[in-house]
Chains A and B, each alone.
Chain A
């Protein structure tokens, strides 16, 4: 997957969790949680969806690396390079 495809994947997952999520003003360098008003339960859903769709096992200690859209892409890029 390219970086853009990974970005779309993450946003698609978030849209599935919250259909009213507003990405227009999203700053990719700032935490998703604050900007999109996600809580820890929503966050777990992102991890679980990545597992379901791409069989990715993301250990709990890596969750902080999914904080912003940019850091998600950085973290997922090597894991999804063949996807």
Chain B
């Protein structure tokens, strides 16, 4: 059978596009290399417990009545009722800089405004005019490539405040070293500071299940364990894909969520020059018995921290850059209830090449991985208190793990520094959605799938 629509990757952008297209044309084939859907935001089982691979918090929280908020737009486009989920807002998060500066924020921007005034009294007016400018900025205009750091420096005189604001935004979505593309910055600023963080009750599995069910109910076909090894192209038109097994599937239109360079490589058109440096990360999950309950571990949702004078968001020279990081407590959302054991997730920038080299000697790779997660725990303990003696289970994803499971080249979860906003990568019927289209986060990637489906695929039904 020749499919009118074929989608590569059942991560959140692929799933959203699949739901959107199959609502109007059921003959959609969604392929994934794995035995589970979700891409970067999937799950696995260890120690009799479901562990999520990527989820810290979902950004873009907005009440139901804000019709034009991205999250409400998204559910309307997917024709899924928001009430099918129960959303739990974050309790509160922090940005720690140096040994003494702590800026609190939550889903009410007034807290952030008063915290900025407390820590940077001279910047209060600057910050308020920044908020006004961000409110009216249209991030979907065609001005890519402007620097968010420059934009901030023109308005805010205190360098430390600029770095404190950039820290969470970079960690949750910048593929560019020490900066963000301006439109991307505005989207992230709104989604984290003005809208806010939440998570659905239950696990990411429950969330994915609702999406998958909708796609299947609309007549779509999902095929797991089907890795695409080639996209078959003649001139500038794609006519199908070849799977690892050698099977050929023909298609009229293809949407790839595999990344820009990754997709071009599948068509056999490798880029001659690499596009800038990719940022790789390492993440450790610790399950800890509840004797470490304290003020921070039970009441903070996310802590972003930077211990150095400057915030270095760049490709790590060492195997892991412990100078900054993210500490996430996935149970600390309103009305979720403390789980036992507690879960702590720690994230840092890491160096892909060094991990890649190590992985050729599995024993050494495992040893260094344990060493790094111990060092990472030690770094976090300076902020949240000692927990190393109470660990009942731990696991670590290196950039090599991420590349293996998600296809993201060099384990760069936020993809290429260059984004293709309209999804057009030079073919008549093969387009790009997902990470390298540019909308990030769970709501962002789903909107990416929806908007590329709207622009390039619905018109062909």
CA distance A51 to B460 in the complex (A): 11
- Number of chain B residues whose Cβ lies closer than 8 Å to a Cβ of chain A: 14
B76 touches A18 (CB 8 A): yes
Known contacts A41-B73, A44-B454; is A51 also within 8 Å of B67 by CB? no
List residues of chain B with CB within 8 A of the CB of A42.
Answer: 76
Main secondary structure of the interface of B (DSSP, over half): helix
A27 at the interface (CB under 8 A from B): no
CA distance A76 to B76 in the complex (A): 25
A38 nearest CB neighbor, chain B only:
B67
Question: Chain B CB within 10 Å — which of A39, A48, A60 has the most?
Answer: A48
A18 touches B73 (CB 8 A): no
B461 at the interface (CB under 8 A from A): yes
B461 touches A39 (CB 8 A): no
Q: Tally of A-B residue pairs with Cβ under 8 A?
A: 28
Q: Which of A30-83 contact B (CB under 8 A)?
A: 37, 39, 41-42, 44-45, 48, 51-52, 60
Main secondary structure of the interface of A (DSSP, over half): helix
Known contacts A18-B67, A37-B67, A39-B68; is A48 also within 8 Å of B73 by CB? no
Contact of B77 among A37, A45, A60 (CB under 8 A): A45
List residues of chain A with CB within 8 A of the CB of B454.
Answer: 41, 44
- Number of chain A residues whose Cβ lies closer than 8 Å to a Cβ of chain B: 13
B392 at the interface (CB under 8 A from A): no
A11 at the interface (CB under 8 A from B): no
B67 touches A17 (CB 8 A): no
- Cβ contacts B188-212/A at 8 Å (1 or 0 each): 0000000000000000000000000
CA distance A17 to B73 in the complex (A): 10
- Cβ contacts B416-442/A at 8 Å (1 or 0 each): 000000000000000000000000000
List residues of chain A with CB within 8 A of the CB of B77.
Answer: 41, 45
A17 touches B24 (CB 8 A): no
List residues of chain B with CB within 8 A of the CB of A51.
Answer: 24, 461
B458 touches A44 (CB 8 A): yes
B73 touches A39 (CB 8 A): yes
B76 touches A48 (CB 8 A): no
A52 touches B67 (CB 8 A): no
Distance (Å) between the CB of B457 and the closest chain A CB?
A: 11
Contact of B24 among A18, A39, A48 (CB under 8 A): A48
B447 nearest CB neighbor, chain A only:
A41
CA distance A51 to B454 in the complex (A): 14
A40 nearest CB neighbor, chain B only:
B454
Q: List 5 A-B contacts (CB under 8 A).
A: A16-B79, A37-B67, A39-B73, A48-B458, A51-B24
Please give the residue numbers on chain B whose beta carbons come within 8 Å of chain A beta carbons, in ascending order: 23-24, 67-68, 73, 76-77, 79, 450-451, 454, 458-459, 461
The 6 closest A-B pairs by CB, nearest first: A48-B24, A52-B24, A44-B454, A41-B77, A37-B67, A48-B458
- Beyond contacts A37-B67, A39-B73, A41-B76: 8 other A-B pairs, Cβ-Cβ < 8 A, are A16-B79, A41-B450, A41-B451, A41-B454, A48-B458, A51-B24, A52-B24, A60-B459
